[in-house]
Chains A and B, each alone.
Chain A
Amino acid sequence: MRPSYAELAAASNYSFLRGASHPAEMVARAAELGLAAIGLADCNSVAGVVRAHVAAREAGISFLPGARLQPRDGPDVLCYPGDRAAWGRLCRLLTLGKRRAAKGECDFSLTELCAHAAGQFLLVVPPRNPNDIPGLSRLTNAGAGQVGLAAPLCFDGRDAGRLKRLEAIAGQWSIPLVAVADAWMHVPDRKPLADVLTCVREGVTIDTAGFRLEANAERHLRSAQEMLGLYEGCGHAVARSLEFAEDVRFSLDELRYEYPEEQVPEGYSRQEWLERLTWESAAERYPEGIPTRVREMVSRELKLIAELDYAPYFLTIYDLVRHARKEGILCQGRGSAANSAVCFCLGITAVDPEKIDLLFERFISSDRGEPPDIDVDFEHERREEVIQYVYRRYGRERAGMTATVIHYRPRSALRETGKALGLPHSTLDALAGRIWGAGGWPDEARLRALGLDPEHPRLKAALALAAELVGFPRHLSQHPGGMIMTSGRLDEAVPIANAAMADRTMIEWDKNDLDDLGMLKVDVLALGMLTCLRKCLDLLARHHGRPLTLASIPAEDPEVYDMLCRADAVGVFQVESRAQMNFLPRMRPRCFYDLVIEVAIVRPGPIQGDMVHPYLRRRHGKEPVEFPSDELRRVLANTLGVPLFQEQAMRIAVVAAGFSPAQADALRRSMATFRNTGTVKAFRERFVAGMTGRGYSLEFAERCFSQIEGFGEYGFPESHAASFAILVYASAWFKRHYPEVFACALLNSQPMGFYAPAQIVRDAREHGVNVLSVDVNSSDVDCTLTPDGGGRPALRLGLRQVRGLGAAAAGRLVAERESGYADIPSLRRRAVLDKGALRCLARADAFSSMELTGRRALWEVERLPVGRPLPLFSVAGLDELPDEESAQLPVEPPGERVLRDYGALGLSLKGHPLAFVRAQLGELGYGTAAMVTEAGHGDLCAAAGLVLVRQAPQSAEGVVFLTLEDETGVVNVVVWRDVFERNRDTLMSSILLGVRGEVQRENDVIHLVSRRMEDLSDLLGALASSQVAAPHTARLSPRLGRA
């Protein structure tokens, strides 16, 4: 008979900074060794069990989910729940321990463990000197399903004696002795990585770690044969593992999901209620009658929902959306199921199924067995209200946020490994910087370029180990919006822990885990543009008398598309980025579906797959529209034969590369996490072989795979792009027709989007909006619209633009204003402002209505006492100031005024700082942005500007894009990698940057390709103190865009 063994003490890297193997690696290795079963027990956690469960299903090995419980006053205990109820108790115990401890920790007592022991199979892990095992008597009497004593080997020279002692103890308590490998790694080769993890955990370097490291590499999985050899004379302990494992019958498959029930009134089934709601809402959506096409779609979808029993899911989401609508919070769903006709009718999205023909099933297809996917975006300022509503409605036992596993990325892996191996800081910095700059792993040539020796043994080891560490989980973090709600107690399905944010709790599993178990979650996300659009809609109703909703904004307006074709898109959702702006004139969008493509195409996936140019050529008729095969015609019909969306790429994997839907899903996920490159390579080979085997060209196959790789974590499916495109169109419509409304709403929704207030205001003024300055006698807290003669309203900047002025102070200023403030002391007294607030207002020139500007205003403020006015003094008139001799302050140069505005408001209505150094720039040989715009292709040009944006997109392989702004406009600069490397510091630290290079023109897109660059920030400094250089003072520097 072949020996048999089941490993019951294995921990994965979800025992953070201890385990040195992925759960899947553990399980796969166990299967490879021919073990009968494997249990995964991570320290006070079940975060890794779902991954192991899935891997075990694939490998065909029996799997036991469990945890290694570490009570504060007892020995470690391996706990395997025997049934669903025991699983619930384990989860509740862990929840108890986690909710009372700090994030990432777990604190419970042996007594509490015993109280949750019913139905558990427990293995007590003895201490190294097992003369006495405290708590063993209590554990054996706790009513557990079974209790055993684990017998690990330590290879410290004393195993034989220890084993005898353990046998005696087990005999004394009549409990079985069970052999365990106590594995923290799946193979001994992981020992160096385990040592690095120890160093990271203990905050030491490998040279000083000493006895904190394990002496040997013995804590790995072993075959039954090997175990029998090691436990010679104690073979029964090995055999016992098998019996123990066989008795544990619980599987994670038993965690069936149950939906919350309460949304349904008496007398209705959930399906019936959903149908009734859908038809009622449909009638409201289509007041002139529901179009036949829509009617048919809704009927078909409702039938499918009934078949798959998804009605509760839709009701759950409907409930959220209805609550948001009641509270006046704008929201929109996206995702495959969100684009259904049912969701449109229920008001979950604004993608009208009648008008927009999406390529993909607007719904879950029954054969894919995929759960419906709906993310709901809410206004970013009010999303928390929605989350708290969910907690209120379902209670904290039944609702929680999903976790996100934070993985080691190349940069963090390299930094931590390097630190553990004692590499000098300069080397670490160089390496970390390298990874940012080049978007890749440093190869030999790069290392040499950095002045490092690639043959240096420590550096070599650090690189190799860091590569292994990439993709390891580092800690659990709260998902930005994923929420799970259950009908039974959530804490009996999965442990719940505190999140870093107050009032938030999160479960231990992430969305992939939930998908794998068929548990449904809703993503409650925050989106700044929804805040902006809600404010747009409100302003439009108030100032123009046009009450509209997202769905009723006039569709397909050619003027809106004309504007987008001109790349006139500052502030417009999604297409305002530099790359999108460059793309707009080439894409020339003319209809809604073009926007759907626009949103999805300028992303790493299509760019890495080199799909963008073929699509454009076909779109402009420069290349015939062909389909690689008939089977792909249907998949690629809407995109002229070129795969652009994530769904298309995944369908190609199925249709053209012969993947099963489940395999395609595994492929997508393997791209999403930075897994070891081995997996990706295996997928690539299978994918390419599958496609070429079916007669596709090798080149096309490889491009398709590169595209999938490019989707990575941020895959962009059509179903999401469609919902986003609605917001693109809506924001563009406002910008085109009501620029003052749009600018006002954008400013009031900051921070969001790509541009700082300075650019938003500049753009608004270029579109004919009259922008009025901040003033204590006219401004509200927010920016407002005010009548301006007969024409369009003017935009009055709000006090929120004044930096350093708190919201409370601004609120008091507005509330106490009545008929206005006559002078600064009365403002100070009535609005109870301290000197700091008044200074901010003075610097922002907000006292113009008192005829105090600039320095004069500050001079008056400085005279006031520090701190807030005391009410008693004010009443008694004790705070009145004596008259004083007037002082002659030097006149403020205009350049300095502009710069002060930038410091105080982030923008200036008086001019652009560069206008005041134009002469000096001219002497240095720099021209204006306008000159670059007019230059011909290949001309040499020099321009200087404030650095608005620095970008190093991953897909661009080390190329950096800069946007510079001067008084005449913006210049788009391309910096190739070699130029970037030479000018790194200049580029990263300059506020005012000068660039010399060659102009490139393509269609309407103009770039300046940098050859040399120069930090000109000192010119601005000189501007601010034109007479005397200040050696010690920090200069006011304009805050500029996002770096």
Chain B
Amino acid sequence: MLAERLARLAHACWRFTPRIALAPGDSLFLDVSGSIGLFGGERRLLRKVLAELEERGEAGRICLADTPGAAWAGTRAASEPVTILAPDSGLESMSAWPVEALRLDAEDCGLLRELGLDTIGALGGIPPESLQARFGAGTALRLKQAAGQAPEPLDYLPPPRTFKARMEFESLVVLRQAIAAAVAELAVRLCDQLAAAGMGSRRFELRLHRSDGKCVAYGLRTARLIQPAPQLAELLDEKLQAGAPGRERGVGYDAVSLVARDTEDVMAEQADWLSGASAGNLKGDFARLVDRLCSRLGADAVRVPTPEDSYLPERRWRFVSALDGPPPEHRFEAPHEAMRAPLLLLEQAEPVEAAAAAAGGPPAWIRWRRKRLSLRRAQGPRRVLAEWWRGEERGGREYWLVEDEQGRSLCLFRRQPPADEASRWYVQALAA
């Protein structure tokens, strides 16, 4: 979480300097020696960096100093959130600061404090050999590095990568087909870039740059992290059709660009994808279908049923967004055969008139939807308790699977314990 925020901040700081390194304890080192002039002086540069922080809602501290060690110390120990140490001041300007500001390990700091050596100044007064004999070379080195008496090489971050493909047209383009051809080409280029980097993406942005300087953007979400270029092109094309660009008269486009947002490392997904391909690619096909439907109808419009562990038929499944849904090979299995989901569940259980049943048994006939059905076979009883933790009434239902003379199967239940003598029966589902 924190590392992510820091990475994003580092990303934003590229405009101040290309030399950025991660520092211990959620900090960044920015080597701005080359760029102070570009920004019109130290104070202006710091103000810009501070503004960047504020814009991201981060409350940070900044110190500008001769050495990374001194700058780090300043962010921990200086009284002001933004500090500039005078050039060439060595340890002097830091002497009142606590030893912790030197990036020493916590145990050593504790010991130094116990010995009364709790400031950088006090530490500076101890002969370096004595210090080294007790706290090792590291402590002495940190002190020297802060003072600028020893070099400190930093491990600079590599520049960030963007995945983007852009095509400029030599002349204005108006035709949809021409745009589609360009998009297909961009899709190939972008997919190649991603594949080469071992990355994938579920979010794309297509931008059409108009001759009048305006820009039309289309967002695309996909279910899959990796897609072959033709399919990406196809999905984008559908977006374009839905958005119907170019209807406005006299407007043409002079460039198209395609960007992959939120790229992810592909390694985790890959194994899955490969095995999917070998197993008849059911999963792949399903995902493609979902992608197609979502891009056409909108992500919210496509939903899949997902099974729920409940003994009540009406709670055996519920719909979730297809993009988060279960893979299609998830079968609707119940621990006991008798709990198999019925073929067709009625919207609501419908009360029926029923013949008085023998004690504990099913009725001989029922009248349902104005038809009288004689029942000739029955299987049961199956008793299910109401889900009391949902605040439902106590008691439960007794289910019977019955078959009428025409061989139609119905799922009947009555309430348990019977509410009154002629306890009511309900039809809840048609069974297989």
Contact = CB atoms under 8 A, between A and B. Distances in A.
Given A155-B382, A890-B116, A1030 B130 contact: no
Nearest to B311: A215
Per CB-CB distance, the 8 closest pairs between chain A and chain B, nearest first, are A210-B309, A157-B382, A890-B116, A862-B134, A216-B383, A155-B383, A157-B338, A206-B389
A211 B384 CA distance: 12
B359 to A, nearest CB: 7
A535 B33 CA distance: 73
A556 to B, nearest CB: 53
Nearest to B309: A210
Interface string B389-432: 10100001001110000000000000000000000000000000
B308 interface: yes
A395 interface: no
Nearest to B401: A157
A30 B210 CA distance: 86
B75 to A, nearest CB: 12
Interface in B360-398: 360, 379-385, 388-389, 391, 396
A1032 B388 CA distance: 51
Nearest to A861: B134
B30 to A, nearest CB: 23
B138 to A, nearest CB: 14
B383 A1025 contact: no
A155 B360 CA distance: 12
Nearest to B130: A887
Nearest to B131: A887
A157 B129 contact: no
Interface residues of A, number: 52
B379 A158 contact: yes
Given A158-B379, A215-B383, A858 B399 contact: no
A890 B98 contact: no
Contact of B338 (A156, A216, A888, A1032): A156
Interface string B108-138: 0111011111110010011101100111000
Contacts of B336: 128, 156, 158
B241 interface: no
B87 interface: no
B127 A218 contact: no
Given A211-B309, A215-B384, A1028-B98, A229 B360 contact: yes
16 contacts: A157-B401, A158-B379, A195-B389, A217-B396, A862-B111, A862-B135, A863-B133, A863-B134, A884-B129, A885-B129, A888-B125, A889-B117, A1028-B97, A1029-B98, A1030-B113, A1031-B76
B334 interface: yes
A1030 B102 CA distance: 13
B162 interface: no
Contacts of B338: 156-158
Interface string A192-233: 100100000000001111111011111000000000011000
Contacts of B135: 862
Contact of B100 (A214, A218, A889, A1033): A1033
B310 interface: yes
Interface string B75-108: 0100000000000000000001110100000100
A855 B382 contact: no
A212 B381 CA distance: 21
Contact of A1025 (B113, B122, B125): B113
A208 B126 CA distance: 64
B418 to A, nearest CB: 14
A212 B310 CA distance: 10
Contacts of B127: 884-885, 887
Interface string B307-348: 011110000000000000000000000111111000000000
Interface in A666-686: none
A863 to B, nearest CB: 5
A621 interface: no
A207 B100 contact: no
Given A229-B360, A1033-B100, A458 B389 contact: yes
B46 to A, nearest CB: 23
A28 B399 CA distance: 32
B334 A211 contact: yes
A828 to B, nearest CB: 15
Contacts, number: 126
Interface of A: 128, 155-160, 191-192, 195, 206-212, 214-218, 229-230, 421, 457-458, 461, 843, 855, 858-859, 862-863, 884-885, 887-892, 900, 1025, 1027-1034
A717 to B, nearest CB: 45
Residue of A159, A859, A863, A884 ringed by the most chain B CB atoms within 10 A: A859
A1030 B383 contact: no
Contacts of B380: 157
Interface residues of B, number: 51
Given A157-B338, A157-B379, A1032-B106, 9 more contacts: A156-B338, A156-B339, A158-B379, A211-B309, A215-B384, A891-B116, A1030-B100, A1031-B100, A1034-B110
A863 B131 CA distance: 9
B109 A1030 contact: yes
Contacts of A216: 311, 383-385, 396
B389 A421 contact: yes
Contacts of B311: 211, 215-216
Contact of A1033 (B109, B117, B310): B109
Contacts of B130: 863, 884-885, 887
Contact of A855 (B115, B337, B381, B383): B115
Contact of A1028 (B96, B106, B308): B96
B401 to A, nearest CB: 7
A1027 B118 contact: yes
Interface in B173-214: none
B137 to A, nearest CB: 14
Given A157-B379, A210-B309, A892 B116 contact: yes
Q: Max chain A CB contacts within 10 Å: which of B111, B309, B336, B389? A: B389
Nearest to B400: A157
B114 A855 contact: yes
Contacts of A1027: 118-119
The listed residue with most B CB atoms (<10 A of its CB), out of A211, A229, A1029, is A211
Contacts of B396: 216-217
Contact of A859 (B115, B337, B379): B115
A214 B309 CA distance: 12
A210 B307 CA distance: 11
A58 B399 CA distance: 41
Nearest to B100: A1032
Contacts of A1029: 98
A855 B134 CA distance: 14
A532 B1 CA distance: 55
A551 B326 CA distance: 79
A229 B134 contact: no
Contacts of B119: 1027-1028
Given A156-B336, A210-B309, A1030 B117 contact: no
A461 B379 contact: no
Interface in B207-234: none
Most buried by A among B129, B400, B401: B129
Contacts of B309: 208-212
A876 B289 CA distance: 81
Nearest to A207: B389
Contacts of A210: 308-310
Given A156-B338, A217-B396, A863-B134, A457 B310 contact: no
Nearest to B98: A1028
A39 B109 CA distance: 68
A218 B417 CA distance: 12
A206 B387 CA distance: 10
Nearest to A232: B360
Contacts of A155: 381-383
A1027 B111 CA distance: 16
Contacts of A843: 114
Contacts of B379: 157-158, 160
